[in-house]
Amino acid sequence: MPDLNQQPNHAAPAPAVAVVIPFYNGSAFIERALRSVAAQSMPAAEVVVVNDGSPPEEREFLQRLQPQYGFTLIDQENGGQGAARNAGVAAASAPYICFLDQDDFYLEHHIRILVNAIPPDDPRLGYVYGELWEADVEGRIISHAIQKSPSQHPKKNVLDMLRYDMFVLPSASLIPRAAFEAVGGFDTQFTGYEDDDLFLRIFRAGFTNYFVDRAVTVWCFHPGSTSYSMRMVRSCLRYFKKLADAFPDEPWLSRYHLRDYLMPRFTPHFVGYTVKTALAGDENRAEMNEILSEYAAIVQANPNVGRRTKLKLRVIVALVRGSPPWLIRAVAPRINSRLIRLLRRLLGQWW
């Protein structure tokens, strides 16, 4: 097994890598991210920061950091992380791209480990990605391994990629420009799940992927991150609908994509967020109710989902949509045991 820390062979210079950082109101975090890029044991050939429509004072903050960190700064109207990353790739020239979210940061050998994992004889390389550490907003470590999930690494089967969240983060990956451009980059309709969508499309286009079981990035997960926002939930619904359209059921192959792969993955998300907003008296409850109803309508229209499953989903939707928080808490424990088990399985951490 190759030493992922070793210096590349001097006879074959290391490939040039561009680091692309999307920025939106991130002055509290961006210097930490830039500092981690500057500290790499294998330097980036170029660093591009894309200001995604931040207010003037935030852009001025970036400008003050430019002399110290030597990055290229480009501006665009707010379009989300996917659009910002696309703009950053277009502005860069290196043949390999590493992304970094503004509130995450690289470990010291991020670029070296991923570059050394590039296979020497694979013209179909789509991406190389590594393990992550999880941290809080201050960068204090919570876990040294978050990829050890049901999701398979490296990616080998599209059904696994439908059933589970990908857990391939842009901040922990290296992508050849050729593969990125071949699939058109990030789908800018998404402001969440755009990474799952990208890596799935690269896979389906016939490109390969390699997983390095070693941490390369610290992922700072906190309430202010995109993952907690209503933009993320709306994008989740758009991504579910895109997958449902792209993967119709194939009864002749005994593949029922909605029932067996998409529902187990997405039902807990939509029910869970709706319950969360209901119990909290959140101002977004009405919108979450509509999102849950739209999701349930797609399930109800599928002829391959069983009648009992549809009935159970209707009961859950009626419960979380129409009941006040006190009633959700009071009624749920008194529902028959089968439905209680279903609710617990579907709501997971929100139960």
> What is the model's pLDDT at position 101?
96
Helices (H) and strands (E) in the chain, counts: 14, 9
Residue 198 in any domain: the answer is: yes
pLDDT band, very low/low/confident/very high, at 228 (cuts 50, 70, 90): low
Query: Mean pLDDT for the chain?
Result: 88
Same domain membership, residue 341 and residue 270:
yes
Same domain membership, residue 269 and residue 170:
no
Query: In the listed set 210, 226, 242, which residue is the last one of a domain according to the structure?
Result: 226
Averaged pLDDT, 297-316: 92
Same domain membership, residue 106 and residue 171:
yes
Residue 303 in any domain: the answer is: yes
Tally of domains within the chain: 2
Residue 262 in any domain: the answer is: yes
CATH number at residue 141: 3.90.550.10
Identity of residue 261: Y
Residue 33 in any domain: the answer is: yes
Same domain membership, residue 197 and residue 252:
no
In the chain, where do the E strands start and end? 17-23, 46-52, 72-76, 96-99, 105-106, 125-135, 141-143, 173-176, 208-220
223 contacts: CB under 8 Å, gap ≥ 6: none
pLDDT band, very low/low/confident/very high, at 350 (cuts 50, 70, 90): very low
Same domain membership, residue 215 and residue 90:
yes
Query: In the listed set 208, 226, 244, which residue is the last one of a domain according to the structure?
Result: 226
Contact 47/71 with Cβ under 8 angstroms? yes
DSSP alpha helices (H): ranges in 92-193?
110-116, 158-163, 177-182
> What is the model's pLDDT at position 135?
85
Same domain membership, residue 196 and residue 60:
yes
Domain residues for the domain of 240 are 230-350
Same domain membership, residue 242 and residue 291:
yes
Instruction: Give CA 71 to chain center in angstroms.
Output: 25
Same domain membership, residue 208 and residue 98:
yes
pLDDT band, very low/low/confident/very high, at 351 (cuts 50, 70, 90): very low
pLDDT band, very low/low/confident/very high, at 335 (cuts 50, 70, 90): very low
Who wins on pLDDT, 161 or 269? Answer: 161
3-state secondary structure of 300: helix
Residue 184 in any domain: the answer is: yes
Who wins on pLDDT, 37 or 152? Answer: 37
Residue 86 in any domain: the answer is: yes
Same domain membership, residue 244 and residue 168:
no
Averaged pLDDT, 46-72: 97
Residue 213 in any domain: the answer is: yes
Same domain membership, residue 237 and residue 206:
no
Identity of residue 187: D
What percent of the chain is predicted at pLDDT more than 90? 69
pLDDT band, very low/low/confident/very high, at 299 (cuts 50, 70, 90): very high
Averaged pLDDT, 63-86: 95
Same domain membership, residue 82 and residue 51:
yes
Residue 300 in any domain: the answer is: yes
Task: Identify the top-confidence range among 4-18, 148-162, 293-307, 333-347.
Answer: 293-307
What does the pLDDT look like over 129-141, one tens digit per residue?
999 998 888 888 8
Same domain membership, residue 181 and residue 42:
yes
Cα–Cα dist 6/109, whole Å: 10
Query: In the listed set 226, 256, 287, which residue is the last one of a domain according to the structure?
Result: 226
